[in-house]
Amino acid sequence: MKARKIIVKILDNIFNNRAYSNIELNKYLNSEEIDSKDRALITEVVYGTIKYKSTIDTILSNYVKDIALIDVAVINILRSAIYQMRFLDRVPDYAVVNDSVNLSKEVSQNSSRFVNGVLRNYIRNEKKNYKEGFAKLESICFDYSFDKWMVKLFILQYGEELALEILKGLNYRPNITVRVNSNKSDYDEVFEKLEEEGYDVEEGSISPDAIKINKGSTIEKNPLFISGDITVQDESAMMVAPLFNFDSNDIVMDLCSAPGGKTTHIAELLQNEGEVLAFDVHEHKLKLIEEHKERLHLENIKTDIMDATKLNAKYINYATKVLIDVPCSGIGIIRKKPEIKWTKNARELRDLVQIQRNIMENAWEYLRVGGELIYSTCTLNKKENEENIDWFLDKHNDAVIEKVFIGNSKNIINNENGSVTILPNEYMDGFFIAKLKKR
């Protein structure tokens, strides 16, 4: 009962107050006395309910006159219950119904009767075909639980077959991946230590620095993490920094650096030499980078507040390398932040393109002749990716693209313009990388 109460609180904050799922989960799981079994249930049900919200709401609409009229204090009790009964088998249906009814009694007796009626009606119609009469697009939206506009976007840009693979990939439950700090530790030794400590681990799919953690206790509390031997980072993001051809005297600017995964990776690959300038518009995010810097024992990072969309004359022709992991729609990381399904819209995606282009223009001003620029995003929207690169190359005669190659995995697309798109799967987020050189 306590676990389900926490589940509903978290869902209320996410759906009603636009809170971030990862932050809300950490807040509750770190502050409550919760055993590992309940911790796993809370995490699974929260992420699953957010992920399948559209499908669940379609199901609920078969048992209520208007889902929009359901009390906000009750709707997430119903959503989380339907998720557990439809997508999980670890908890019996009667137990889910009983806990949901008791939870709704805290709202009102009428609410508890309503919840009981809806859920028991759902159980009685266990084999109901909720897609009856649906067109193909509606059916896809129901199966994968995505809004129509996003499904249409993927089909238009990638074709139906690949679009379905993307939708499937974005619904995978992600495991934790850690990057071994090559500046401090030996990969094999770290791997063995994690095994000795009871973690179920395996090598990364592509990155030589990646270790996948399939099962184990909270990695942030592990001595290897605390001492800076490892840091948490998705394997797709690990592919960015090694694409630079580093020199010990490099001056590297990371214009959109928070939370610092790529910044610290660059600093590690430079072996604490050169200079890494990490910028962000928010001071509290820079403090996070400083914390990572100290934990990873890195001395070549300097942080400062700067808006990447505004040109800073101080840094014109300053850097030998520039990284711009630009603000984007984030639809490549729905595995980890499923609320992106419901918080983004097509208009937002259009507005982001101009911001990204402003950052590209400024980054190019900061780069010296002969220098390298890497443009990356965690989105799969081609307008934010390949089309931005093509636009930039058409506008700048001194820019030449350097073909990026990171492997031959099934989820990697080598684009015609030399850039790379990483499709989401059970191990990696969706990602885009392009590399330019200033001639």
* Residue 307 marked ligand-binding: yes
Q: At which residue do the structure tokens 């997508």 appear?
A: 87
Amino acid at site 280 = D
> Of 306, 313, 297, 318, which Cα lies nearest the Cα of 251?
318
H/E element holding 43?
A: helix 36-51
374, 390 Cβ separation under 8 angstroms: no
3-state secondary structure 21-33: HHHHHHHHHHHCC
Residues 9 and 46: their CA atoms lie apart, in Å, by: 10
* Residue 92 marked ligand-binding: no
210, 204 Cβ separation under 8 angstroms: yes
* Residue 95 marked ligand-binding: no
* Residue 257 marked ligand-binding: yes
In this structure, how many other beta carbons lie within 10 angstroms of the beta carbon of residue 26? 13
* Residue 304 marked ligand-binding: no
H/E element holding 401?
A: strand 399-402
* Residue 261 marked ligand-binding: yes
* Residue 327 marked ligand-binding: no
* Residue 325 marked ligand-binding: yes
> Per-residue b/e over 165-199, b at no fewer than 16 CB within 10 Å?
bbbebbbbebbbbbbbbebbbebeebbebbeeeeb
114, 121 Cβ separation under 8 angstroms: no
* Catalytic member of 70, 167, 378, 401: 378
Residues 254 and 262: their CA atoms lie apart, in Å, by: 8
**Alpha-carbon distances of 381 from 188, 369, 421, rounded to whole Å:** 37, 30, 10
331, 261 Cβ separation under 8 angstroms: no
Residue 378 bears catalytic tag: yes
Amino acid at site 381 = N
Half-sphere exposure in the Cβ direction for 419 (13 Å, CA): 25
Residues within the annotated binding site for S-adenosyl-L-methionine? 256-262, 280, 307, 325
Annotation: binding site = 256-262, 280, 307, 325
What amino acid positions are annotated as catalytic residues?
378
